[in-house]
A and B are shown apart, each in its own frame.
Chain A
Amino acid sequence: MDVAGSILSFSFYEGLVFGLVAIGVYLTLRVLAFPDLTVDGSYTLGGAVAAVLIVAGVNPFLATLAAIGAGFCAGLLTGILNTKLRIPALLAGILMMVGLYSINLRIMSGANVSLLREVTSFDIIANLFGMRGGSIAVSIILALAIAAVVFFALNWFLRTEIGLSLRATGDNEQMVRSLGGDTDKNVMLGCAVSNGLVALAGAIVSQGQGFADVGMGIGMIVMGLASVIIGEALFRPKGVTWLLVAAVGGAFVYRLFITIALRMGMAPGDLKLITAVLVVIALAIPYIRKKARREWIPPAVRW
């Protein structure tokens, strides 16, 4: 396979997997207007739970389901901290992220778990299609199948009565309450589903790379943010379907840039700084534009 083809196919795979994180971030940040930092912890949580269960001999697909469940519970707890104990969203996420760090160490009984000698979901798919394990085609088949299920499931869910109530909660909480909607429940559900998806991504990545590591989730929230922002800039989405497309598309473009930069010799350690700067620029542009147009600018948000 030529270089361009391998870069594209690899970014496509990564775009699909990290698209799950982007959709998770999109669910909390854009749908619920809840900036949830649990993501860094729940991504690792998903990887850790899946890896430990697979090593213990559990079916890799069941292990992945368990990872989703663990992420779901983590998100639920973040939602409870915010709605039932009135802890500000950002702080609730930070507290969960920090707490999950210790929990992830406990789950793995150490800083990492190797899956190199284990049979993962990827190996099962490879066997099914009679292909070599670890080939990019296998990775893409698995990632595409999962991303498609998540995409169609959410596209349906956000149009149901509960889904609509969830979206309205992020738009106008007071209105939802005055129409009989339980906004606390909506926030908890949204955070739970979001972190379930993020944990799913962590579970897939750990199986794909052959290990789970306690530091694998660091900066995941910023990466998800970057994907959502890139997607919104490129697709200018209106409506649920296009917002989901934008999240996944944004993740693909982001990973494409990163893969190219790495191939051109960028040190992998610099990746997170570049991502952070990218997000800073994207967030600052609207402010600078307004300032130039001498428009009224609301005070900076502290929480």
Chain B
Amino acid sequence: MSAENLLQLKKINKVFSRGTVDEVKALNNINLEVKAEDYITVIGSNGAGKTTMLNVVGGVFPPERGGKIVVADVNVTGLSEYKRAAYVGRVYQDPNIGTAAKMTIEENLAMAVLRGKSRGLRAASNKQLREEFREALAPLKLGLENRLNALVGTLSSGQRQAVALVMATISRPSLLLLDEHSANLDPRTAQIVLELTEMIVKREKITTLMVTHNMELALRYGNRLIMMHEGRIVVDLNHEQRTGLTINDLITAFERASGSKFNEDELLLRG
């Protein structure tokens, strides 16, 4: 593969409930090459395979035989989720998944800085790390840098998601997966979390895949747009192709590529 591709998916298939009446082909021969520092928005209706694709990239379950996943020149196809975490950071839709409620902000971040490193018998946190945590939290402008000893369970869901975002990126993984990470938040908090995402991704130059239900967000953020339908990538627009597009243009592109009528209920037209 060429060195400039940070993520490469080759012949990725995923079948659920194989051999039963519920058999679903969740991913259907996905091939994707993502350049370093690309920020890709992934859009599609329910059941299109967006989250399944993130799960396969993140190592929650393996693809079917013959598929290959390469991250930063490392073939990670056979690596379990916790080993793959060295390369891949992830923020989930539910802030409760990305953070540990009964531990303090400091302890949560102390877990996050050890991504991809071996854990030993050194003290998990120290003065220097606390300084690093404060520096990472300060740009959020939520005042969390002064509340390192607060239990994460006492934070609002927006604050928790902001902490989860910092935790996913503080050790600079090669790849960041965002799984509708602003969908569960109220509009104002969602806006803040999305702006924080933009800021962190740009500053740390992390290659990013952001799954969303929201067409407007998919057009506003990132430099490339992918649309999925029934386990396939049906639309793939680079930065130039995407510039100036409206939501209606996207719908037209979707209907032409997928050969099926666009169902308005399945996608949010605006935020």
Contact = CB atoms under 8 A, between A and B. Distances in A.
Interface of A: 157, 159-165, 167-168, 171-172, 174-183
Contacts of A182: 82
A46 B120 CA distance: 28
Contacts of B86: 180
Contacts of A172: 96-97, 99-101
19 contacts: A160-B122, A161-B110, A161-B120, A161-B124, A164-B103, A164-B111, A164-B119, A165-B114, A168-B108, A172-B96, A172-B97, A175-B98, A175-B100, A176-B82, A178-B81, A179-B111, A180-B115, A181-B119, A183-B82
B107 A180 contact: no
Given A160-B124, A161-B124, A167-B103, A176 B119 contact: no
Contacts of B122: 160-161
A180 B124 CA distance: 15
B103 A178 contact: no
A162 B120 contact: yes
Nearest to B83: A180
B83, B107, B116, B124 — most chain A CB neighbours (10 Å): B124
B85 interface: yes
A179 B101 contact: no
B103 A160 contact: no
A160 B111 CA distance: 11
Nearest to A169: B100
A168 B100 contact: yes
A33 to B, nearest CB: 10
Given A159-B124, A161-B120, A178 B58 contact: yes
B90 interface: yes
Contacts of A180: 82-83, 85-86, 114-117
B102 interface: yes
B167 interface: yes
A226 B111 CA distance: 32
A187 to B, nearest CB: 13
A209 B108 CA distance: 45
Interface of B: 58, 81-83, 85-86, 89-90, 96-103, 107-108, 110-112, 114-117, 119-125, 167
A174 B101 CA distance: 13
Contacts of B89: 178
Nearest to B120: A161
Given A179-B167, A181-B114, 15 more contacts: A157-B121, A159-B125, A160-B123, A161-B124, A164-B110, A164-B119, A167-B103, A168-B108, A171-B102, A176-B100, A177-B81, A178-B89, A178-B98, A180-B115, A180-B116
A175 B81 CA distance: 11
Nearest to B81: A177
Given A180-B115, A181-B82, A168 B103 contact: yes
A92 B112 CA distance: 31
B124 A163 contact: yes
Contacts of A161: 110, 114, 119-124
A168 B82 contact: no
A92 to B, nearest CB: 21
A300 B103 CA distance: 26
B107 A164 contact: yes
Given A162-B119, A162-B120, A164-B111, A175 B85 contact: no
Contacts of A160: 120-124
B123 to A, nearest CB: 6
B99 A175 contact: yes
Contacts of A178: 58, 81-82, 85, 89-90, 97-98
A164 B113 CA distance: 12
B97 to A, nearest CB: 5
A157 B103 CA distance: 16
B124 to A, nearest CB: 4
Which 10 pairs of residues, A with B, have the shortest CB-CB distance? A180-B85, A164-B124, A161-B119, A171-B100, A172-B100, A177-B82, A180-B115, A160-B121, A171-B102, A161-B124
A176 B167 CA distance: 11
A236 to B, nearest CB: 14
Contacts of B112: 179
A34 to B, nearest CB: 15
Contact of A168 (B90, B96, B111, B115): B111
Contacts of B101: 171-172
